[in-house]
Structure 1
């Protein structure tokens, strides 16, 4: 009987964790390290004009530790990107690296945002609930990305969006409906989709 209860508990725990955004992000990182992700790499100038675009089937993004100030300080902003058996280094300009399957819906949300809500809430509880949702289910969100001077650049949206830190300074990782988005040296605002509708 104890064995059966233990097996049922393990199965239920696995089902619960399978829906967990943090676990999905961990597996996405594992996949990136050992298989690579099929991604599109794009860099932009200050006016949001495309500088270059590279597509790869096996992409790995990491901070180039060669440029750290010292061994204790992980402060290098240089990105080392492995594409198949080739590599590139990047620092400075805005960069978006999107996993294949993510759609830039910039035109849909191109207008200036003027959102209002008159809903009341308890901020500290709302913050805790939002943090919990980020880790476990994600939320319906729209990500508006701008160049460093504020020129609109790209827009992504999804039903299950979660934000994550990366080891690269001035960057953010997002999990959008199971696909990875890496944003480097960009201004961005992330809205709950309900604020825009």
Structure 2
């Protein structure tokens, strides 16, 4: 009987964790560190004009700690990107790094967003529910990305979107339907899809 309970508990735990976005993000980081991710790296100027585009099969993104001002501060905005056996460093201009499989749907959502929502809610409960969903299932969201001066740049959308901090200042990591999206030095707004439909 005891073995059955352990087996049932283990099965339930695996089932619950298999849908967990936080666990998926952890595995994505593990894959990035040991195998690399197939990604496209694109940098943009202030007018959202493409400066360069690099496609790689084995990419890892990290903060270059060499440029930290103090040993304990972790304040370097310099990104060190490993592409196969080669590397590049970047700082300053807007950058989007998207894993293979993510599609820029900019034209589909290239409009000014004007939202009115008169629905009532309990903000503290809504915040808790949204945080829970970010960690476990993600939500249907649209990510509108702009250059640092506000010029529209790119748009991504997904059914299961979760946001994560990175160790690089001025950057955000997102898990979009199981694919990694890294946004650096960009303005962005992330909407629940229901708000703009």
Quick check: TM above 0.5? yes
Tell me, what secondary structure is at the counterpart of 2:128? helix
Q: Deviations over 1:2-22 (max 9, x none)?
A: 011101101110110010000
- Separation in structure 2 between the aligned mates of residue 118 and residue 66 of structure 1, nearest angstrom: 49
TM-score by length of 2: 0.99
- Separation in structure 2 between the aligned mates of residue 64 and residue 118 of structure 1, nearest angstrom: 45
- Separation in structure 2 between the aligned mates of residue 144 and residue 107 of structure 1, nearest angstrom: 11
Which residue is equivalent to 1:2?
2
Matches for 1:53-72 after TM superposition, within 5 Å: 53-72=53-72
Which residue is equivalent to 1:179?
179
Which residue is equivalent to 1:142?
142
- RMSD of aligned Cα (Å): 0.4
Cα shift at 1:151: 0.1
TM-score by length of 1: 0.99
Q: Deviations over 1:114-173 (max 9, x none)?
A: 011121101111011000000000000000000000000000000000000000000000
Q: Deviations over 1:89-133 (max 9, x none)?
A: 000000000000000000011010001112110111101100000
Which residue is equivalent to 2:43?
43
Matches for 1:75-114 after TM superposition, within 5 Å: 75-114=75-114
Following superposition, which runs of at least 4 residues in structure 1 exceed 3 angstroms of deviation? none
